[in-house]
Structure 1
Amino acid sequence: MKSKEEVVQLIDENVDQIHILIQEKIEIWSNDVLYTPLWWFGVCLSVIPWIIWIILRKNDSTDRLLYAGFFVMTISIVLDVLGDQLGLWHYRYNVIPVLPTYFPWDITLMPVTIMLLIQYKPNINPWVKAIFFSIVTSFVAEPIIEWMEIYQPLTWKYIYSVPIQLIIYLTAHYITRRDQFSKLY
């Protein structure tokens, strides 16, 4: 077993290497990604769906939907970072270079799509919507962004995303149905 000092030195050396690689990534991004068509595409995907949601949302459901949307964002970011860090996939043409996730997917497309699906025809069985959502995101959206060379699955298969997307949708749906909050005085 290594001493505490040896462990600290190993961790510090690793962090130094990570910082060097992040600086290289920022340089590549600044020189070769920023303002390219795929970067602008990511910017548009980050903004336009939110504008659509603001226009289409039911005003009296805004808080409830945003509560679920923030849950979806959080889970999406965490899972995306894990997948990237574990070498299951990676992204190119990031909107923000230091984030290992695809910002438009985690912060906009996932939550906005789920919020709109929850709001639209709310009496449809949530399992039907969850299955629809998980199949479309896994077998349509992921292949499209891979084809565009934004997303590169390394050891990940589209089918692996289906149960994850299904659970995310069903949990978000469940969250929007909660009314157990006590009043703040």
Structure 2
Amino acid sequence: MTTPTYEDIKIIHEKLVSMRLEYWLEHNVFTFQWWLLLTILVVPWLVWWLFVDKKNISRILLFGCLLMILVLIMDDLGVELQLWSYRYQLVSILPRLISIDQGIIIIFHMAIYQFFPKWKSFLIANIVMAIVFS
């Protein structure tokens, strides 16, 4: 067996992208699950905006953005190593569950960060959230 070249990998990757788009268009977009994912992404951000402390919004958003980067890296790593995959996706070109990665997880963590300013209560709230989400 010969070692694949970069061009071999690129051709297979292009085919995978094409297949993923075809699958997404045929089986995902505008299905109930797709609308649910869209709702799960948008609604938490709207609710968060109503309750966020506007005086500390830059600090809370910085925390959320740093956490979002970490969550996206971990999710990409899990997908790349084939530890998990997602049958339904909001966007075909991203092999991750952005509704959860950039919605629910981030919003709940930012809310905990805002409402539990002391380390002890912050850690306890995160542990409780982890138990509930797991």
Is the TM value for this pair above 0.5? yes
Return the offset for 1:102.
0.3
SS in structure 1 of the partner of residue 93 of structure 2: coil
Q: Which residue of 2 aligns with 1:74?
A: 69
Higher radius of gyration, 1 or 2: 1
Alignment of 1:91-110 (within 5 A): 91-110=86-105
Cα pair 2:116 2:125 within 8 Å, conserved: no
Letter in 2 for 1:18: H
| One-letter amino acid of the structure 2 residue matched with residue 25 of structure 1 | R
Higher relative contact order (CA 8 A, sep 6+): 2
- The unaligned stretches of length 5 or more in structure 1 are 1-5, 140-185
Once the 2 structures are TM-superposed, how far is the Cα of residue 24 of structure 1 from its aligned partner?
A: 0.7
1:110 Cα deviation (Å)?
1.3
Structure 2: how far apart are the matches of 1:17 and 1:71? Answer: 33
1:83 paired to 2:78 = yes
Counterpart of 1:23 in structure 2 is 18
Aligned residues: 132
Which of residues 46, 50, 53 in structure 1 aligns to 2:45?
50
**Among residues 109, 129, 132, which one is paired with 2:128 in the alignment?**
132
Does 1:111 find its partner at 2:130?
Answer: no
- Report the CA distance between 1:125 and its aligned residue: 2.0
TM-score (norm 2): 0.91
Quote the sequence identity (%): 24
Task: State the AA in 1 paired with 2:130.
Answer: S
Any idea what SS the aligned residue of 2:73 has? Answer: helix
User: Which secondary structure does the structure 1 equivalent of 2:45 belong to?
Assistant: helix
Which amino acid is 2:41 matched to?
S
Q: In the TM superposition, what are the counterparts of 1:28-39 in structure 2 within 5 Å?
A: 28-39=23-34
Deviation at 1:121, TM superposition (A): 4.0
**1:62 corresponds to which of 42, 57, 60:** 57
Q: Cα deviation per residue 1:39-90 (whole Å; 9 max; x = unaligned)?
A: 0000011111000010000111100000000011111111000000101000
Q: Which amino acid aligns with 1:106?
A: D
Q: Letter of the aligned partner of 1:30 in structure 2? A: L
Instruction: Report the Cα offset of residue 122 of structure 1.
Output: 2.9
In structure 2, how many angstroms separate the alpha carbons of the residues matched to 1:116 and 1:127? Answer: 13
Matched, 1:11 2:6: yes
Is contact 1:39-1:95 (8 Å) kept? yes
TM-score, scaled relative to structure 1: 0.67
